[in-house]
Amino acid sequence: MHTLHRFNRQDNLAAQAHFEHAIAKEPRFARAHAGLSSTWFQSAFLRYSDNPARDVEEARRFGERSVELDPLDPFANFAMGRTFWLRGNVEDSWPWLDRSTALCPNYAQGFYARAWADTIAEREQAGTESVSLALSLSPLDPFRYAMLATRALDYLIQGDTEQAAVWADRAARSPGAHVLILLIAVIAHALNNNRHRAAAWCAEVRARRTDLTQAHFFSSFPFSDGTLRRCMSKALSEYGF
């Protein structure tokens, strides 16, 4: 899990090998299947490979196997729920994520995942409450950067671009923050009319990934086609994405 949470291609492959080794030793180890699902999820979400369709399918396959082996495991339900994001079916993830936190009321990552799903669906109040709970339950969580980024997106939904920029900066500077989090910082500062900060984050994005496009961003963050998405798309276009 420590290797998985480094959020880069090489360590994700290492984590995948660990989970595969665990399954080879104990084929009914549900959490190893959930962990393997998470590696394929990360590969699809961050486009580590040139075959994202395969990555999506593998994430789903191992997620299903994990809940089949242990339907009462919060991590298995969490992993299964997130697989729906990869197909743009955000609302279909809600029952699985709710089940993960019902099974373990202290499961911060489950609350964060529900907050993310609520935010992408632009259910701002629900997302705000869940991400606040996640941060309070696990202030040093490996997904802290994502929790902070979710709060930034909440503020964008509310139209408060100044606070969105503040939280986006916090997210992008947090340990483990991947390149899509930096792209949220570009968007937040662009919409807050701070071209200097937006350009600075843009340069960091390009230093990490020269191939990143807004098509990738909206594939991973499937906002519905509306005013917010159009504003975000315009902001990304202005900075070459």
Whether the per-residue pLDDT at 124 is higher than 70: the answer is no
State the average pLDDT over residues 28-50: 97
For the stretch 48-78, pLDDT in tens is 999 999 999 999 999 999 999 999 999 999 9
pTM for the model stands at 0.93
Whether the per-residue pLDDT at 153 is higher than 80: the answer is yes
For the stretch 211-237, pLDDT in tens is 999 999 999 999 988 889 999 999 999
User: What gap in Å lies between CA 71 and CA 31, rounded to an integer?
Assistant: 11
Whether the per-residue pLDDT at 149 is higher than 70: the answer is yes
Min mean pLDDT across 32-36, 118-122, 231-235 is at 118-122
Q: How many other C-beta atoms are found inside a 10 Å radius of the C-beta of residue 71?
A: 13
Helix pair angle (161-172, 195-208), 10° resolution = 30
Whether the per-residue pLDDT at 126 is higher than 80: the answer is no
Region for residue 95 given its phi and psi (left: phi exceeds 0; alpha: psi -120 to 50; beta: otherwise): alpha
> What is the residue type of 88?
G
pLDDT at 127: 76
